[in-house]
A and B are shown apart, each in its own frame.
Chain A
Amino acid sequence: MAPARLTIIVGMGLVSYALRAAPQLLLTGWSFPAAWDRYLRYLAYALVASIVSTTLLLSGTRLEVAAAPRRMFSLAIAVAVAMLTRNAAVGMFTGTVVALLLSWFAAV
């Protein structure tokens, strides 16, 4: 395992643990304001949505122009199926199959 990656993974583990353990030891009997709770939820949503689009459409600092339309189409199908079935796993599976099929057609 690359030492730099190992250090980063351990660092990620430490900060994650600190965020979990600190309230157990320091905030007993303290209730978190509802507005802060909402903000943290919105922040998580915003970060995940940002990562979804950058992961799908970018490769490093380059926009994947050829693949972008078919990935967006696959994503739209996945989201639509997930919303219809109320099941994220089914949506993901459908979208992945569509993405795969489109990539094979594009390569032909």
Chain B
Amino acid sequence: MLFSKSFRQGVRAAVPVWIAFIPSSFALGMAAKGYGLRLEEIVLMSALVYAGPAQYAVVEPLAMGKPALQIIIATVLMNLRFLPMSASMAPYFRRVKWTRLLWASHFISASSFVLPYVRFQQEEQESGPGGNTSEKGDEHLSFFLGIGMTAFSVWVAGTAVGYWAALSMPPGFEEAFKFILPGYFACIIAVELRERTATAICILSFLAAVPAALWNADWGWMLTAIAVATFGWRFNEWRRRV
């Protein structure tokens, strides 16, 4: 089942995801070294958490010994987006053994979600009203695992390679370690953003976070980000209704 035709199709479809994962995992590894985390810590984090933005959010707080509760809450908030992703995929994995679902769940990420989801939706549309794609649960799961497992491997290996590359950097490159990860995430947001509300939320959060963190180093930035996102969302929902 693991190396079935669907799994191999998934592996082939995953190549763009690997390419996207290489610079971000590499940057994470380099930044982790810059902040003073150990190789095994960042590699374990990549293997267990497997979520770029959440890992990025906690590299500095973890290295600086910030409260565990703050780090866990930041992780939960950053990863809440997995709920709708996982819920959207669930109907396509019907009749799959729950043990396999438990195993596969770990490989859900933003990048490995989009490809299979779009493909399953296309299949559903092509099969028409009489078709039943829910019969293909195991096939779908194999395709998803082809993407998810290989992308996960690239992510973990990329983190380790990035850390190793940082070890061989000569002195004087500390500024690069400090810049590389926030710079990368700012660029991802800039490339991804399409709508005005999201853009305004990003700019406001960016501007408000520093004064908020100076007011309360542990919680200020997080509470401000939640407030800005909530306000922007409420405003957007109100605009959609009128």
Interface residues of A, Cβ cutoff 8 Å to B: 1, 4-13, 15-17, 19-25, 27-32, 35-58, 60-61, 63, 67, 71, 74-75, 78-79, 81-83, 86-89, 91-92, 95-96, 99-100, 102-104
Give, as a whole number of angstroms, the nearest-CB distance from A2 to chain B. 8
Judge whether B179 and A71 touch: CB under 8 Å: yes
Known: A40-B84, A91-B183. A17 touches B106 (CB 8 A): yes
Quick check: which of B115-123, B160-168, B197-205 contacts chain A, the rest being far away? Answer: B197-205
Give, as a whole number of angstroms, the nearest-CB distance from A93 to chain B. 8
Judge whether B54 and A12 touch: CB under 8 Å: yes
B143 within 8 A of A: no
- CB contact list, B66-111 vs A, under 8 A: 68, 71-72, 74-84, 86-91, 93-94, 98, 101-102, 104-106, 108
B40 within 8 A of A: yes
Contact partner of A88 (CB less than 8 A), chosen from B90, B98, B191, B233, is B191
B1 within 8 A of A: no
- Considering the chains assembled together, what is the distance between the CA atoms of A83 and B190 in angstroms? 6
Contact partner of A78 (CB less than 8 A), chosen from B93, B186, B210, B212, is B186
Give how many B residues have a beta carbon under 8 Å from the other chain's beta carbons.
Answer: 99
Count of A-B residue pairs with CB < 8 Å: 296
Q: At the interface, is chain A mostly helix, strand, loop or mixed?
A: helix
Give, as a whole number of angstroms, the nearest-CB distance from B146 to chain A. 18
Give, as a whole number of angstroms, the nearest-CB distance from B41 to chain A. 6
- Considering the chains assembled together, what is the distance between the CA atoms of A99 and B58 in angstroms? 22
Give, as a whole number of angstroms, the nearest-CB distance from B145 to chain A. 13
Which 8 A-B residue pairings sit nearest by Cβ, starting from the closest?
A13-B48, A50-B209, A82-B187, A91-B187, A103-B175, A23-B86, A21-B105, A46-B229
- Considering the chains assembled together, what is the distance between the CA atoms of A13 and B228 in angstroms? 27
Known: A12-B72, A13-B48, A20-B86. A45 touches B214 (CB 8 A): no
Known: A32-B84, A83-B190. A48 touches B60 (CB 8 A): no
Judge whether B233 and A38 touch: CB under 8 Å: yes
Which residues of chain B are near A6, meaning CB under 8 Å?
41, 44
- CB contact list, B123-180 vs A, under 8 A: 172-176, 178-180
Which residues of chain A are near B189, meaning CB under 8 Å?
45, 48-49, 52
